[in-house]
Structure 1
């Protein structure tokens, strides 16, 4: 998880160990514009004093997620899955139509890189309390060598936790209260009010809602 204060200082926080890693300030990014959500992507290597910008990202569609896997950065956009090679992205799996009301995530599970698709629908057709709620997930195992993707419904002894600041998988045998083959999610929809939170059973498609109803 990334923490950022009002003067540009940034810290990378490990949620389980509480360890912190200090990052270069975002003020060192010359082209950074807070008003633009998709202005560019940059990364940092330990020991370096500044960020390295990945070139020509704007032409690759809306950026959904970035994940570090097997020594390389992978990105998922509205066009497909990209690998970043020497600061330049290369399209490796193309997907032109993800459909409306969907969010995409990259996460490593048991040594494989997975693409997770989250589908949402409006709660009521008349527009009242018309926040998006999740009704389905699809998980795809990416073959980065053959540029293919295969849908899976079994995660084994693992569970996935999704988030816009990074997604992870955990072993349930060492995690109290965590169910295997489940996807845990929070309300990450644009304009969401925080009600869409739960655990999705990937095998049977059932969802356990953690929080339901309007806030006081």
Structure 2
């Protein structure tokens, strides 16, 4: 007589999910056994220690809808039939995938050039999407599209997108303790309120960062916001005369706690050690993961994928066509303890052998946060 796995007590199934050796793949397998197990895993979801998957750029050699996701700790590539992402620019927030795509060039006959160029500018202006909470079971949530100087936002109950403009260039946005925060290119941090789409508000809480807190060498490229162990951090990276021919990425990162309470930047706010935390950073986003001893991930490090276009290397390549930058990515692991970079994640990973589609190259690599059933 076959056992009915659905009869197992949900508390017992939940105890399996809580075990530290259960990987993200194991979590998904357990959730797929039956409805009762899925409910138990959803209620007991704890993936704070799980390292993310890496969504690989679209491969132009393949004419299908398969997306590839790389697990660097197991050095394994998973293939997922995902037609919604084909030929589109992709973003990720809280484990959810956002895609955008321009209409075909000949959609608007007689106006294609003008309209299409305007669409491309809008397309390139979007840096990231961010959710206030997972849409699963949420009575209300907000999604934000971050542009250079504008935030487009839409609540669950809204039929249209609204916008909030900024005079300063916005580098990043995140949702932290029930509030959206943005960081500008000068390091100033503001809180944003989107409850009233007709009157969104932005309030500067922290002034621009003093020059002595910014990197003293190279060229600062971007600031990121990330929540780590209950604190709001700002992460800055500097590219220092990097060349693709060099074996090791020449990047440097600095991390500071954001002084939301008093708005005073100080040198002692710099974070030198992340402890058991690992940061995962790409062109569009950054998030933190609490790393366990058996996760296969290095603690107190920043795993990064940054495209040549994001780093602004185009201007320094002599006699090089812009298309030569397609698919070129600065890949590495930055160690917070010694300030050095390692090249890549494992022998099975090689970005140089892949061919990229020009339609999706700006999406680059995307870290997918392990949060499939997250709640606010």
Question: TM-score when scaled to structure 2?
Answer: 0.45
- Give the match for residue 167 of structure 1: 286
Deviates most, 188-197 or 178-187: 188-197
Equivalent residue in structure 1 for 2:121, among 29, 32, 35: 35
Where 1:122 maps in the other structure, the secondary structure is coil
- Give the match for residue 202 of structure 1: 336
Report the Cα distance in structure 2 between the residues aligned to 1:174 and 1:45, rounded to whole angstroms.
39
Structure with the bigger RCO (C-alpha within 8 Å, sep 6+) is 2
Cα gap change, 1:187/1:6 in structure 2, threshold over 3 Å: closer, same or farther?
Answer: closer
Counterpart mapping for 1:14-25 below 5 A: 14-15=94-95
Cα gap change, 1:68/1:4 in structure 2, threshold over 3 Å: closer, same or farther?
Answer: farther
Report the Cα distance in structure 1 between the residues aligned to 2:252 and 2:184, rounded to whole angstroms.
20
Residue 101 of structure 1, CA deviation: 3.5
Task: Give the number of aligned pairs.
Answer: 199
Cα gap change, 1:159/1:4 in structure 2, threshold over 3 Å: closer, same or farther?
Answer: same
Equivalent residue in structure 1 for 2:301, among 160, 182, 192: 182
Alignment of 1:82 onto 2:204? no
Equivalent residue in structure 2 for 1:53, among 155, 160, 163: 163
Residue 179 of structure 1, CA deviation: 1.1
Residue 199 of structure 1, CA deviation: 0.9
CA contact (8 A) 2:220 2:236 kept: no
Report the Cα distance in structure 2 between the residues aligned to 1:135 and 1:163, rounded to whole angstroms.
13
Alignment of 1:146 onto 2:262? yes
- Give the match for residue 221 of structure 2: 102
Where 2:306 maps in the other structure, the secondary structure is coil
Where 2:270 maps in the other structure, the secondary structure is strand
What is the Cα-based RMSD across aligned positions, in Å? 3.8
Cα gap change, 1:103/1:163 in structure 2, threshold over 3 Å: closer, same or farther?
Answer: same
Residue 169 of structure 1, CA deviation: 0.4
Where 2:297 maps in the other structure, the secondary structure is coil
Deviates most, 141-150 or 84-93: 84-93
Residue 135 of structure 1, CA deviation: 2.5
Deviates most, 205-214 or 146-155: 205-214
Q: Deviations over 1:71-102 (max 9, x none)?
A: 11111112311111352222222226557343
CA contact (8 A) 1:67 1:73 kept: yes
CA contact (8 A) 1:134 1:196 kept: no
Pick the structure with greater CA Rg.
2
CA contact (8 A) 1:155 1:181 kept: yes
Deviates most, 169-178 or 142-151: 169-178
Cα gap change, 1:26/1:71 in structure 2, threshold over 3 Å: closer, same or farther?
Answer: farther
CA contact (8 A) 1:153 1:202 kept: yes
CA contact (8 A) 1:65 1:76 kept: yes
Residue 191 of structure 1, CA deviation: 4.5
Report the Cα distance in structure 2 between the residues aligned to 1:73 and 1:5, rounded to whole angstroms.
31
Q: Structure 1: 5+ residue runs without aligned partners?
A: none
Residue 162 of structure 1, CA deviation: 1.1
Report the Cα distance in structure 2 between the residues aligned to 1:50 and 1:91, rounded to whole angstroms.
27
Deviates most, 76-85 or 98-107: 98-107
The structure that is strand-richer by fraction is: 1
CA contact (8 A) 2:254 2:270 kept: yes
